[in-house]
Structure 1
Amino acid sequence: MISKKIAILLAAYNGGDSISDQIDTILSQDVDNVEVYISLDLSVDDSFDICTSYVRQHESLKLLLYGERFGGAGKNFYRLLKDVDLTKYDYIAFSDQDDIWPETKLSKAIEKLQQYDCYSANVTAFWEDGREALIDKAQPQREWDFLFEAAGPGCTYVFKREVAIQFKSWLLERYDKIGEDISLHDWLLYAFARSHGYRWFIDPESMMYYRQHANNQVGTNNSFAAANRRLKLIKSKWYRNQSTKIAEHLELQHLPVFKYGLSKGYLGNLYLLCHIIKIRRRLRDRVALSFALLFNLF
């Protein structure tokens, strides 16, 4: 049994149909000294009653003050990072409300964190109709990939206390602005960690079942509808805006990828196209982004 203290930050919203399954798999982890902090966005289902019931039964579960409307997973996780005392823990993990964790999820991550500072993993997406698909994010990391993608689903992230404390300190200095500018907490944390020299391991083994449904904020890209949804985000310049905002908040304007790429409109697109190998990990994603850059869709 691992004796180090672990904090799990669980963001939830209208999760009544699945949050019990998620909490049960957390409670079944083969590690001890785990405490779970739940931040529940103002919901219209029975999520609050379910969470309250679990908290009454398990001393290791804590429900943060309820009643605030965050409007997105990012702001909810920022709230967790702000309000939870992370200094008491050796490791911090993110959790969504509706996934299925194998009992070795945390122990495998902590084993890898003896050599690295941050951990994420591949996941197996699953649908209610029984379909499953591996979501492979474990390609070799690239020089600037952190400005263009996350390290995989944030619900696989586990990281050391030092990273958590440094990220929290940085976040609190610009808390309101970050909440308005950066939608995806997992992408932001990956960018922060990589740009600050922390070592990140992306596990090629699938370490979680990642539930897919209409309410996923991003979800997998293994369907025409999902691909079309992402294409619309690209065409609206949402992705470019997020990349740019992350670079600006991290004060990375000196990097060539920002100076000659993100800040230069279509000419910048041509620069990014010439350096596409440095900005996305997966070949398929590099091809798709190249197309978007060439036709000024990014």
Structure 2
Amino acid sequence: MEKCISDKIAILMATYNSSQFIREQLDSLYSQSYMDWELYIHDDGSNDNTLDIIEQYSQRYENIRVIGKEVKALGPKNNFMFLLNNADADYYLFCDHDDVWFPNKIELTIQQIKKNEIADRSNPVLFHSDLHIVDTELKTISNSMWHYAKIRPDLLKKKNYVMVSCFITGCTLGINKATKELVKDMPDKAIMHDWWIGVKAVMSGAKVISWPEATMYYRLHGNNDSGIPQVKLMPYLKHVFTSFFVSEYDRNIAVIADSLGFKYYKLRKSIYLTRRFLNV
């Protein structure tokens, strides 16, 4: 991949009690086809030997930046947003500690973002991809999360859909600096960082690249296996719109409306008309 001399790439890794799997993920980063990047890590107060492992790798590689050592107990969404807001780069890739990246993930992600900036870095661009689902031993469960979870990436680019259903997976995310400027001020009520980034980007007109091939092994284990719901469009929409005036869904729409300046009553009208269409 050709590199502009000013290009700065930041890999953002949030850790917490990550010792079981972090070595494999770090090894996958240091086996990439493109290696000119910096790894920013923030640990959220691990009580295992996560920091010892990171220190071992820091002695071997000069591009690891452990930041915010005094900042603890942020939780996953705020941990990643802390990293995003404290790393200075042109491009940002989000990295879970327990996965394994394919060797061309960084190169592919940056190539696609740069291609879609259309020679103007002021254009916000978001890249995300399919994932290869594996168990704790990296044995295949499904070679496509999108197929496994019945996710339709074409719908993720539609504003009316993404307001209530955003399945852009954070560990595949890559964004440029223009997108960072859009999403850097996450509301406290946002569900998760990737939900917020995906919704805000789509609703703000960012270019969204839904890469149809897996770029990483997504590891299912006891702490994250609830993160892949199997979704069918019509039952899901009926559930969402039937429940619209109840807590979480109402809150989701309110967060979006407040952050993007929409009139809340217009969103409610849209929901009402959709409920009539779905007969729920």
- Answer yes or no: same fold by TM over 0.5: yes
Q: Give yes or no for the alignment of 1:251 onto 2:261.
A: yes
- Secondary structure (helix, strand or coil) at the match of 2:210 reads strand
Instruction: Specify the SS of the correspondent of 2:128.
Output: strand
Letter in 2 for 1:91: Y
Aligned-partner Cα distance in 1 for 2:116–2:66 = 32
Residues in 2 aligned to 1:239 and 1:218: alpha-carbon distance in whole angstroms: 19
Query: 1:36·1:60 contact (CA, 8 Å) conserved in 2?
Result: yes
Matches of 1:151 and 1:110 in 2, distance apart?
A: 21
Candidates 139, 154, 166, aligned match of 2:153: 139
Which position in structure 1 is the counterpart of 2:172?
156
Q: Cα deviation per residue 1:181-238 (whole Å; 9 max; x = unaligned)?
A: 1131111111121122111011111111111112128521259xxxxxxx9xx97743
Name the CA distance, whole Å, in 1 between partners of 2:2 and 2:24.
Answer: 23
The answer as to 2:27 corresponding to 1:27 is no
- 1:25 touches 1:100 (CA, 8 Å); kept in 2? yes
Inter-partner Cα distance in structure 2 for 1:274 and 1:12: 45
Map of 1:124 onto structure 2? 132
Distance, in Å, in 1 between the alignment partners of 2:168 and 2:203 is: 17
Q: How many angstroms apart in 2 are the aligned matches of 1:164 and 1:135?
A: 26
8 Å contact kept, 2:183–2:196: no
1:229-287 CA deviation, whole Å, 9 max, x = no partner? xx9xx97743442343233222223684x2415xxxxxx4x433356xxxxxxxxxxxx
Query: How far apart, in 2, do the equivalents of 1:99 and 1:93 lie?
Result: 14
Computed over aligned residues only, the root mean square deviation of the Cα atoms, in angstroms, reads 2.7
Contact 1:38 1:64 in 2 (8 A): yes
CA pair 15-222 structure 1, distance change in 2 beyond 3 A: farther
Q: Secondary structure at the match of 1:7?
A: strand
**Does the 8 Å CA contact 1:5/1:90 hold for their aligned counterparts?**
yes
Task: Indicate the residue corresponding to 2:41 in structure 1.
Answer: 38
Cα distance, 1:124 vs structure 2: 1.3
Q: Distance in 1 between matches of 2:141 and 2:112?
A: 26
Structure 1: gaps spanning 5 or more residues:
224-230, 262-267, 276-289
Residue 242 (structure 1) aligned to one of 208, 233, 252: 252
Question: How far did 1:131 drift?
Answer: 4.3
Partner of 2:94 in structure 1? 94
Query: Is contact 1:122–1:205 with CA below 8 Å preserved after alignment?
Result: yes
Q: CA deviation at 1:34?
A: 0.7
Q: CA deviation at 1:102?
A: 0.5
- Check conservation: 2:18, 2:98, Cα contact below 8 A: yes
Separation in 2 of the partners of 1:96 and 1:57?
A: 21
Aligned to 1:228: none
Q: Could you list the per-position Cα deviations for residues 111-141 of structure 1 after superposition, in whole angstroms to 9, with x for gaps in the alignment?
A: 2221251100010111136341221145313
Runs of 4+ in structure 1 deviating by more than 6 angstroms, as ranges, are: none
Q: Give the Cα–Cα distance (whole angstroms) in 1 for the partners of residues 265 and 202 of structure 2.
A: 14
**Would the aligned equivalents of 1:146 and 1:187 in 2 still touch at CA under 8 Å?**
no
Partner of 1:181, secondary structure, is coil
- How is 1:223-238 mapped onto 2 (pairs within 5 angstroms)? 237-238=247-248
1:68-107 aligned within 5 A:
68-85=71-88, 89-107=89-107
Q: Does 1:260 align with 2:269?
A: yes
Deviation at 1:147, TM superposition (A): 1.5
CA contact (8 A) 1:138 1:204 kept: no
Which one-letter code corresponds to 2:220 in the other structure?
A: Q
Any conservation in 2 of the 1:9–1:94 contact (CA below 8 Å)?
yes
Structure 2 unaligned segments of length 5 or more: list them: 118-124, 232-238
Q: Judging changes above 3 Å, is the alpha-carbon distance between structure 1 residues 151 and 90 closer, same or farther for their aligned structure 2 residues? A: farther
Aligned to 2:275: 273
User: TM-score by structure 2 length?
Assistant: 0.79
Aligned to 2:10: 7
Q: Is the CA contact (8 Å cut-off) linking 2:126 and 2:173 kept in structure 1?
A: yes
**Percent identity over the alignment?**
25
- SS in structure 2 opposite 1:189? helix
CA distance in 1, matches of 2:141, 2:225: 19
Give 1:142 deviation, angstroms.
2.1
